[in-house]
Each structure stands twice: as structure tokens, then as C-alpha cells.
Amino acid sequence: MVLSVMPTAPSSRRRRRCVVAVALTAALGLSGCGQSWEDEVAAAPVTDLLDEQQISADSQDSAGHRLAVLLTSAHRERGEPYDWGADGHEVWDCSSFVRHAYAEVGIRMPRTARDQRAWMADGNGVRVEAGDEQPGDLVFWDDYRGPDEIGHVAMVWDPNRSSTIEARPPQTGFYAYDGAKDNNRFEIWRATELTGPLASG
């Protein structure tokens, strides 16, 4: 089975909210904020993203199939509102959004961005050099906790565009992570469990 997702165009109200949020966060000088891709980029289908990375999603036991399930699950929540501390469903913060998507492929991870990064470093992930990321990898950077603490997590969507799918104000959607690369803390991680078959239950 091959999973394919073609994102739909956002509503005019959603576009206006994204424009306002980008202007507000830029005015406030929030670190690593990035610009929403909702108005500028037509996101590729999941299968196209994986094909570009030479990842096959044909076999249900393959890592490519797991990535397709992961990305499709994340995309399903696109457009839902962000609220700091929200745990889903229908309202998310950055780490609950990631945790939910990974749970869809049987990967259980901690609740907060800081703990998710520590979980990766504790034998559950491998560090990825910038430029070698692939769809489904997680990007961590410092944010509200200060320059030495991980405060945000996002999921890589299209490495060729440095785009993510993530939960941040005002809503879940597509963003860019280029703006975070100059942060004091900027790390990319890949969960090692993604290389195995889908967990049951």
C-alpha cells in the first residue's frame, strides 16, 4: 500500500491568521520563528517527498512506509489551533503534536520538547548533520527557556525547502526552519525506531 496526501489550499481566514502571526512574531523578535509556508509553498504529497529522498514506501514493513504513516498522521492535524501546554486532540503545542504523530507508528516518547531531545540522545535517536535531514526527522532549538535550553521541536517535511510541519502560533501547518539554524541550540535527530516494522496496537 502506498500512502499519498495532497494538501488542500488553506482558507482565506487561515491565510490572514498566518500573515498576522508572522508579522507579530517578527515584530517581537522571537528566536527561530521562521515564516509560514502556507501562502508561499504548495506542499508536496508524502510519496513525492519520499521519492525525492529515494525512500520507498511500497512495503508495509519498510522504513519508508513508516515515514509515510508518520507524515500522513502529522498532516491530518494541519490547520488545528496552537496553545502552549495543549495536549490534543484538536489543540496542540509543539511537543504534543510530535508525540501524537510518532505514536501513530508505535513510538512512545516523552511529553516536552526538552525531554524528547534527551530521549533521542539517550539511545533512541541518532544526531543528523544539517543538510542530511530527511522527512520525519525532528528539529530542536532553544526558545522561551533561554539560549541554553531546548524549547521547541518541529518535524521536517521537505528538506529541500527546509520546511517543517509543526505546531506553533497560530496553528499547525508548514513553516521554515532556516531562521533557527543560527540559534545557540539547533539540533536535528532521527528516531532509530523508525527503521523497524510498524508496532501493533
Domains observed in the chain: 12-195 (3.90.1720.10)
pLDDT tens per residue, range 79-125? 999 999 999 889 999 999 999 999 999 999 999 999 999 999 999 99
Provide the mean pLDDT of the chain: 79
Report the pLDDT value the prediction gives residue 105, as an integer from 0 to 100.
Answer: 93
Asked if the model's pLDDT at residue 201 lies above 60, the reply is: no
Report the pLDDT value the prediction gives residue 197, as an integer from 0 to 100.
Answer: 55
How far apart CA 18 and CA 91 sit, in angstroms, is 16
Report the pLDDT value the prediction gives residue 198, as an integer from 0 to 100.
Answer: 57
Percent of the chain with pLDDT over 90: 57
Q: How far apart are the first and last CA of the chain?
A: 19
| Closest alpha carbon to 166 in 143, 147, 185, 146 | 143
pLDDT tens per residue, range 51-76? 877 777 777 667 888 899 999 999 99
Report the pLDDT value the prediction gives residue 22, as an integer from 0 to 100.
Answer: 37
How far apart CA 84 and CA 86 sit, in angstroms, is 6
Least confident of 3-17, 28-42, 171-185: 3-17
| Closest alpha carbon to 178 in 145, 149, 139 | 139
Report the pLDDT value the prediction gives residue 88, as an integer from 0 to 100.
Answer: 84
Residue type, 153: V
| Closest alpha carbon to 82 in 94, 100, 72, 70 | 94
Report the pLDDT value the prediction gives residue 47, as an integer from 0 to 100.
Answer: 78
| Closest alpha carbon to 193 in 94, 72, 105 | 105
Of the two residues 104 and 49, the one the predictor is more confident about is 104
Q: How confident is the model at residue 8 (pLDDT cuts 50, 70, 90)?
A: very low
| Closest alpha carbon to 173 in 164, 182, 184, 183 | 164
How far apart CA 174 and CA 95 sit, in angstroms, is 15
Q: How confident is the model at residue 143 (pLDDT cuts 50, 70, 90)?
A: confident
Q: Do 37 and 171 touch, CB atoms closer than 8 A?
A: no
Nine-digit cell string for 187 = 539540533
How far apart CA 66 and CA 15 sit, in angstroms, is 31
Asked if the model's pLDDT at residue 34 lies above 50, the reply is: no
Q: Do 138 and 156 touch, CB atoms closer than 8 A?
A: yes
Q: Do 191 and 133 touch, CB atoms closer than 8 A?
A: no
How far apart CA 164 and CA 179 sit, in angstroms, is 12
pLDDT tens per residue, range 10-33? 344 333 334 333 333 333 233 444
How far apart CA 72 and CA 76 sit, in angstroms, is 6
Nine-digit cell string for 61 = 514493513
